[in-house]
Structure 1
Amino acid sequence: MRPFKYTGAQNKDQALQAFTATSHYLGGGTNLVDLMKEDVERPDQLIDVNKLDYKKITSNENGGLTLGAMLSNSDTANHPEVRTKYPLLSMAMLSAASAQIRNMASNGGNLLQRTRCPYFFEVSMPCNKREPGSGCGALKGMNALHAIFGYSDSCIATNPSDMCVALAAIGATVEVQQPDGSSRMIEFTDFHRLPGDQPEKDTTLMQGELITAIHLPKPEFSDHYYYLKIRERSSYAFALVSVAAGLQVNSGVISKAGLAMGSVAHKPWKLSKAEEFLTGKKPTTENFEAAAALEMKDAKPFEGNKYKVEMGKNAIVRALTQAYEREV
């Protein structure tokens, strides 16, 4: 690991003022420190934000909850109100990593997880995300775990987060503090970027912005929900494909659907077409299959990840079925 300066911030103003172009904010460090050890990330300053007062869960004006960005994943997922009002989010978060990592990882840090693409981690290999202009080794290399939606010739990596898939399905909003002390809100579907010709940029955050909160809308999927995570082993593994599904069902008809997929794109992949298709229809297997087919027809797999297309279809159907049958 390369030498770096450590700065402990006591409040947000200190954190914002200390930030430079080569700094990183430090929360739990469960991803950042690993990347520093591998010489992938090379900050010359870490600004510890753990003492900042963003570790609470409170009610918000929209009838939902606001999650503090510095609160741990474990404390968030196991909070009584989150488990009761947003069980889809709790289920997704508890499927991630291990209990030890969830105890350390922060909510804000989870949003900033970087890809687990092996070409990104291996500094001897070409990777535009790690070193812009060096190429993408996965394009014609080992790409079994890579994107089937939204990629570019510059990058075919995927976002690894489970929490973020659920937040995309729910329709969350991210609050950030800007260097001048003002704040701005970012719709969750706009928070992460597709790679385009700048794959080194994972999010739409501007330099120095600090994530302070995640705002959840009024709970809508507390009865019918399911998070499906398909992986090579049952623990300590990232998803091959994941689906977050939430349904509102009234008088035998779907009045609203919240759907997103993970591990298929550079960002959590919102299933807007399926959501629109299902609204006003009965929660039947036939309709679930039609919604899945509608979404997956746009998939463009590589030789190594063709399996994700059929797996994705089946995963959407299974997640929707489990969500509907949960309280029936």
Structure 2
Amino acid sequence: MDPILFSTIVMLAVVLLFLLPSAAVTVYAERRISAFIQNRHGPNRVGPFGIFQPFADVIKLFLKEDIVPSKANWFLYTLAPMIPVATALITVAVIPFGEYIFVADLNIGVLFLLAVASLAVYGVTLAGWASNSKYSLLGGLRAAAQMISYELPMGVALASVILFAGSLSIVEIVNSQEVWWNIFRNPLGFVIFTVAVFAEANRTPFDLVEAEQELVGGFHTEYSSMKFGTFFLAEYMHVVIGSMLITTFFFGGYHLPFAGLWMPEMGPVLKSVIDVHVFLLKTAFWVFVFIWVRWTIPRFKFNQLMQLGWTKMLPLAIINFVVLAIILYYLP
């Protein structure tokens, strides 16, 4: 077998074995961390320290009756929960876990990433429409408006990152941070990108897509059983993916701080082991930040959410891009 094909297959298997269980780990972590923040116990009955609670939740969802509204569009209603999960799995294909560990190094990796990420909006929008419920439809429309609004500043923030790397390849972007991480070179772009990732992942304070109090339950009001569970699997997968993207584009990816100045040469096996551990530790930190923010900051109103995206973040992202382009042109 071609060694490149073999390594790609192995990496795909690793991604599937890592990303899918990471959602269960994130659910457990959120329950424990939120309990600590609120000074309560959290899950502590199912298994030692409640570690089997996510498995109990999955079993419960499997055993629940799968109810489909009589006037729903059955095909789209069934398809909708699968779309966000599929986009999350595809996105990981272009994220490098190490210098030698990635599925694909595309020379248009950033464009591929933005294109695939934008498909996730179809899942919640189709779910809202196909359910034939006014509450679900309102949730789906909120999702479309929110995601489109925050994809624009996210894209411009990534464009400012591309200026430093001079390439659309995500591997090249990570390698350009071997000495200076982009958070130091592009702090405003980091803030804009991070806020946009929170909004794209539908996490507090931007979880207007669900907005339980206003919309009964949002786009998934009419879903039950594992279709309902699949939406939350996708949400937590997007939290992990968002943490990976922040790590990749602004926190040096798999590079240690100022690695280019002091990191000695080493073999590919040892280098890969260190790279993966560094990358996963950074990702875990940002997953913690996602959870921390959710249980600390209250939800915005919808007009505040849209105003922030269009009147604050997008102009700031454009100004940041123009200023960095001028600086790099005259001071390469």
The two structures have a TM-score, normalised by structure 1, of 0.25
Larger radius of gyration: 2
The two structures have a TM-score, normalised by structure 2, of 0.25
Report the structure, 1 or 2, having the larger strand content: 1
Q: Relative contact order, CA 8 A, sep 6+: which one is greater?
A: 2
